[in-house]
Structure 1
Amino acid sequence: MKVIVIGGGAAGFFAAINIAEKHPNYQVTILEKSSKLLAKVKVSGGGRCNVTNARTKPSELVPFYPRGNKKLHPLFKKFSSSDMVAWLNQRGVETKAEGDLRMFPVTDDSQTIIDCFLKEAKKHGVTIQQNEALTQLEQRDGEWMVHTKATTYNADKVIVATGSSTATWKLLENLELELTDLVPSLFTFNITDSRLQDLQGISFDHAQVKVTGTKLEESGPLLITHWGLSGPAVLKLSSRGAYKLAEKKYQFDILINFTGTLKSDEIRTRIMEYAAANPKRKVINYPLFELPKRFWERVTSHCEIGAETPFMELSKKHLNKLVEELGQGRYEVDGKSTFKEEFVTAGGIKLSEVDLSTFECKRFPNLYLAGEVLDIDALTGGFNFQACWSAGWVISKCI
């Protein structure tokens, strides 16, 4: 049996390893178009590899998939995040969960995951061909012909797991598989605003971000960057709102609550209580709500609160402005930024084209699709990888 896996990423590698382990006599080959293997694994989590999430129940996982959602519930019953942790542990890779339930190898090094996969691939005889870009895929008399720029491979079964690949989607469309609209997901917001200028690197442990005029709202850590805003709160918002924000051509306003969940009245009350207890303290020197000092200084300056102004001299006008800036600061987003290696696309081959119990194409026997090539994507937090691991596992059990 010849099995060709197109794509040397997470889903492809995981499927190939498990197929080869299950069927030692099969010829399993991975075709990767570039010279890089497991590129997204390498850069994930800032180079630490956010390999999965500590949420283990299918019902806990599916809400984090804007595209896929409840349809993935049976998939995670077959292979959940706890199964992936066990799979890695059995191969000598220990993992850890952080406070936000993201999971990483204890080494905090993505190379640990890559080395594990490469070792397992070699152990089970998986052939890896790099710099082999797919140019055509066709089925002849029940056998698949996989054409690349260099040669043609014959295969009994083909797994397409190329991730966000415009070229692959076009080839699959040539087979008349239906494709949804494709838009970016998991991107950061470009913002040019004096309130953020030169504050890159400052972060907030918990903030709420809302897109004005919509129901889109997310919370979580927030980060000021050279180009605007990033962090889990923004990335989650960009994922859930991928299509809506694309319609707006990435031009929209956001409201930010830098205090987390406090309402305007609560913010006002806390400031007034602090002022009553510390009337002579200068406002600029005492950040409230555990906000970073440099940001507090910038906000108070923006509110035209003088550097020498003590809390007891805060005018009603200044107080109102400060409450607004902290609880509903309005910022204009003018574009997006994506990290090429971690780029995620919302959309792909429609899930109706595959049998989600096997990931085999309904109209093309022995053709399987996995990973981002399908209309499945998730919020940040290890969920995209988990969808890859689960699909790869299910495919390996069906081949």
Structure 2
Amino acid sequence: MDVKQNGFMTKVLHAGHHPDQETGSRAVPIYQTTSYMFRDSNHAADLFALKEPGYIYTRIMNPTTEVLEKRLAALHNGCGSLAVASGMAAIFYAVTNIAGVGQNIVSGSNLYGGTHTLFSHTLKRFGIEVRFVDSSDPGNFARSTDQNTRLLFTESVGNPRCNIDDLEAMARVAHDHGLPLVVDNTSTPPPLFNPFDWGADILVYSLTKMVGGHGTCIGGAIVEKGGFPWESHGRYPEMTGPDSSYHDLNMWEAMGCDKKGKQECPIFTLKARTGLLRDTGAALSPMNSFLILQGLETLPLRAAVHAENALKVAEHLEKHPLVSWVNYAGLPSHPDHERARRMFPRGCGAVFGFRIKGGLEAARKFVESVRLCSHLANILDARTLVIHPAGTTHQQLSPEEQAAAGVSQDMIRISVGLEDIEDILADLDQALEKTQ
């Protein structure tokens, strides 16, 4: 079966796996093991030298996790994927795979609070500068790049600003400067949106969110499109030159990337696996890989309900007398609505912000008054979730940084779940009444 020719629902059920040869298990087995037997000394040496594919140690690769990686790559029509312990690990690896001391990246400012803190503070300790720009104008990226810029970064839908920017124009800026465009697509995984279709080169995910879908486990992933000209201009020797940690092995040439075509060469994810994951160890556990695979099997069905419910909630809140503002790109009132209709015909996710009349105290009272909705720090599991970003996820940001991210003291972020829409709306209404 050629999975590349199959439809999306078939891929989420079959890509990357054949029934277990020893037992005939139809479900993906959980390979709960740390290590794997070598056939002989030569086999062991060849595995460590990357001359032969196979398994050495679960910190680097695991059969259960490998199915998840292959399935994620197939769903995006990409060439490779690397699953790691969390979405933050995925972002950190995606940056540090090609950026180091004295270099910089350019990022949109409308980011999840944890990503903003990583970029503003933690990466400085590694000598990496992050230049924040207003991503509504792709030209801002061009004006902030220089010879030491390594990548451009943005989110497909800003969290929680819910902005939808011109990814095609960003990709043109990136490629005109010889840079990859990295997109955090956590909020809108396929079938809602595939940034590769709009020019992105590398995707990062928190698999904890809609992909896993059940709020049971944490995981992250990097997905690689393939085809980026890493060899051009000698700009990325990390990808195409000798690797001192592998006795100066040139993986670009060893994999045949210079001959068989870059489109099928997952050099970015290979280098992240054999360098960063091997050396810093943010490995995804086999059990979590298994649980995320269970969620992935129903992703198309859940994504449709998330998007449908989110639009109904946004429309309801926009008309509510106790709500002063709703920021959801699915609404005609949103400044990015026309772009959302073009780029996200299946729905632009289920996470957005709204403001409650009454200021900070009303916002606090709201999150303390919900009954069906859950007040917690997560998004896009099966349940409807609410939080007050200014006091939690974006608390470490300065007032100016909060404003740039679209966070105000009276704003609530909602992640609309899969409950019956009438029950979601009833709970929101009773909690809003209590704010007054």
Q: TM-score, normalised by structure 2?
A: 0.25
Q: RCO greater where, 1 or 2, for CA within 8 Å and sep 6 or more? A: 1
Normalized per residue, the structure richer in strand is 1
